[in-house]
Chain A
């Protein structure tokens, strides 16, 4: 096939990129396994049209990236030492962010508070990006973040209108929802490991 070598090189590049997301202990073997399939797909006698074989090979290579998310989260379960540290870091960053939100609410005219808040968002982004690899975790983090934002808004409203009891009621509701969500997220990995789901 014309341009076969270039196509293979693109496929190998995609597989290589996918394998970079895998832990070291399984990376090399997976990479070898997936790369070995590329020429076989490109020469598949069951597919008559050469462009279709090329598309098939490239889609195979591109889809391995999706597979590595699941594979890396499974092997992450085998090395749980880092996870508590990341959770602690996340908790510390969230605490710092909550403090800065409170400071901003108390002194909205003070520009430095906004800068600190932006810095905290960046700090929170790191542990979140490490932890949020599976879809369920990502979804739960989004829900918790939005509840946290709701809580912040209600506290803001309560600070601006201290006599309005509705704000306190809504803030308490958001807080209760946050506690329930955190409890659910805490239990989720245990439940998943008990049922054997990845």
Chain B
């Protein structure tokens, strides 16, 4: 899993039930549009993310496309992030440095 994908999944998992639009995800994941949208397209193709057009609450705004994790997506994202975190902990332990937060 790439660092970018990890950030996107992390942004989704901050509130899995909430629909997120592209710019919102860009800010949360700190990714440019050219990186984010291909990732979202890939996740949508894998049926981990579903999208729908919704009208924003602010008056006069055009309809926007909102993304949210599917049930399968939530499960896969949690699993992938846990694996990534475990790998990082493992790498830190083997590098001889203390893991962040392990020094009290």
Q: Which residues of A are in contact with B by a Cβ distance under 8 Å? A: 29-30, 32-37, 39-41, 44, 46, 59-61, 63-67, 70-71, 74, 196, 198
Contact = CB atoms under 8 A, between A and B. Distances in A.
Contacts of B21: 37, 40
A33 B64 contact: yes
A155 to B, nearest CB: 42
Given A59-B32, A60-B33, A74-B45, A34 B38 contact: no
B8 interface: no
Contact of B62 (A39, A41, A46, A67): A39
Interface of B: 21-23, 26-27, 32-38, 41-42, 45-46, 56, 61-65
Given A36-B62, A39-B62, A40-B61, A63 B32 contact: yes
A63 B62 contact: no
7 contacts: A30-B37, A33-B22, A37-B64, A60-B26, A67-B35, A70-B38, A74-B41
Given A33-B64, A39-B61, A67-B36, 10 more contacts: A30-B37, A33-B65, A36-B65, A41-B23, A61-B33, A67-B37, A71-B37, A71-B41, A74-B38, A74-B45
Which residue, B35, B46, B62, has most C-beta atoms of chain A within 10 A? Answer: B62
A196 B23 CA distance: 26
A89 B49 CA distance: 39
A37 B32 CA distance: 13
B33 A64 contact: yes
A32 B22 CA distance: 12
A65 B38 CA distance: 11
A64 B41 CA distance: 13
Contact of B34 (A29, A32, A66): A66
Nearest to B41: A71
A136 B99 CA distance: 36
A29 B21 CA distance: 14
Contacts of A33: 22, 64-65
A67 B22 CA distance: 13
Contacts of A29: 65
Q: Which of A35, A37, A64, A74 has the most CB of B within 10 A?
A: A37
